[in-house]
Structure 1
Amino acid sequence: MLEEITKAISVLEKGGLILYPTDTIWGIGCDATNEEAVQKIYSLKKRADSKALLCLVANDAMLEKYVDHIPDVAYDLIDLSERPITIIYDQPRGIAKNLVAEDNTLGIRIASDKFCQYLINNFKKPLVSTSANISGEPTPKNFGQISDTILKGVDYAVALYRDKENGAPSSIIKLSSDATVKVIRT
C-alpha cells in the first residue's frame, strides 16, 4: 500500500490525475487546491464546470482547515451515519475556485477507508473525488467497467482493490450556516 501511496502522491504533486478506490466507488482525483488539475477532471469527464465536484479529507482537523463554519450537527451526522456521508458546507476556503459551487458551497466527505485516509494524510491536502466515468454515462460498478477514455485520461491508476465491487454512493446532506438542513441523496 505504501508504494501505491507514494506513486499517487508523486502524480498529485505535479498537478496530475489519479484513478483511485474510495470508500464508495472508483474515483478520479486530483489536488483539490489546484485549479488547473481540477479543470483537467472537468475536461476528462466532459462535464460543465458549473456542476460542482466533491472532495475528500482525512479527518475532522483537515475538514476544519477548509471550511469557515462547521455546524455542530455535522459532527453528529458524521459519527452516526452507517455509510459514507458527504456534507455540503457553506464558505469553503483554501480550495480551487473552480471546485466551489456558484452558491459558495462545497461537498466534503471524511474518508472512511484506510487507503484514502493514508493517501490524503500523506498528501496533506484534500483530494477531488468524482466517479470514474464520462458525465452522463453510468457509474462503473468496479475497476473492470471503467472506460478506456478514463483509463487513458488519468496519469496514474492505483493498483489496489481492482477486484472489489463498489459500495453504495454516499448520502449527501446540505448544512447551511443558518441551520437549514436539506437531504440531497439518502
Structure 2
Amino acid sequence: MKKHQYEKPLFEIVSLLRQQCVVAYPTEAVFGLGCDPDSEIAVQCLLHLKQRSIDKGLILIASCFEQLKPYIDDSTLTAEQRRRIFIRWPGPVTFVFPARPETPRWLTGRFTSLAVRVSDHPEVIELCNAFGKPLVSTSANLSGQLPCRSIDEVKSQFGNDFPVVQGYTSGRLNPSEIRDALTDELFRQG
C-alpha cells in the first residue's frame, strides 16, 4: 500500500501530541480527532477546529482501563456494574462515568461525568500505549461535514499537512454505543 505524504510515523504523532497538537487516527467506525486530554491548549484547538462548544464534554479513548483511572471515579461501582462494563471492553462501547473532582472542565463540559472507552482498534491501542495515556476522541470532520472514514477524506477536509496515523477503520458503520456506567442506560445506539 502506498504511504501518503500526510501519514506520519507513530513517533512523530506522539511528538506532536506532546507539543499540544491535534492529530487524526482511525477508530472502529470513523477517523477520530485526538489530543492530549491534560492540555487545555490542545483541547481548545480541537474544539475550535470542530466548532464544538466546550459545554458538550468530550470522550476519552484508551488502550486499557488503567489509563482512564486518573479521570474517572469508579469507586462506587458494584461488582455487577464492573462486569457489565468489562464484558464489553475492549470494544466500541463508550461508558459515561462519574468524573473525578479534579478532572478538567475542558473535558467534562457542563457535566460531572466523563465519557470513556477502551478501544480494541490496533492503531488506537498502539497510539495510546506509545503516548502513555488516553486521547481526547471526537469524530474527524468539520462542522456540517460527514465524519471521515479514510485518510483521503481526512486530507480533503483538513488539508495535506494535517497529521494522520496510518491505518484503516475497523469497518463499523455506526459510531460507538454510549451507555451510563452506573445504570447501563443507553444514550446512543451503536
TM-score (norm 2): 0.81
Residue matched to 1:110: 118
Matched, 1:160 2:163: no
| Cα-to-partner distance string for 1:85-133 (whole Å, 9 max, x where unaligned) | 0001112466443111312111100011222112111211210111111
1:31 aligns with one of 31, 36, 41:
36
Q: Are 1:28 and 1:132, in contact at CA under 8 Å, matched by a contact in 2? A: yes
C-alpha spacing 1:174/1:101, structure 2 compared with 1 (3 Å): farther
* CA offset digits 1:16-69 (Å, max 9, x no partner): 111111233101110011111000011001111112221111112222332122
Judged with a 3 Å threshold, the aligned counterparts in structure 2 of structure 1 residues 75 and 12 are, in CA distance, closer, same or farther, namely farther
Label 1:80 to 1:49 Cα distance change in 2 as closer, same or farther (>3 A): closer
Q: 2:29, 2:170 within 8 Å by CA — same for their partners in 1?
A: no
1:137 counterpart SS class: coil
Return the match for 1:79 from 87, 95, 108: 87
Cα distance in 2 between the residues matched to 1:183 and 1:75: 17
Q: Could you say what the CA RMSD is over the residues aligned between the two structures, in angstroms?
A: 2.5
**1:152–1:64: structure 2 CA closer, same or farther, 3 Å change rule?**
same
C-alpha distance in structure 2 between counterparts of 1:48 and 1:23, whole Å: 24
Residue 176 (structure 2) aligns with: 170
Seq. identity, %: 26
**Distance in structure 2 (CA, Å) of the matches to 1:81 and 1:111:** 7
Distance 1:94 1:112 in 2: 28
Task: Kindly tell me the number of residue pairs found equivalent between the two proteins.
Answer: 178
Letter in 2 for 1:157: V
Structure 2 residue aligned with 1:121, among 113, 129, 132?
129
Ranges in structure 2 where 5+ consecutive residues have no aligned partner:
1-7
CA distance in 1, matches of 2:68, 2:128: 12
CA–CA distance in structure 2, aligned partners of residues 43 and 129 of structure 1: 14
AA partner of residue 158 (structure 1): V
Deviation at 1:82, TM superposition (A): 9.2
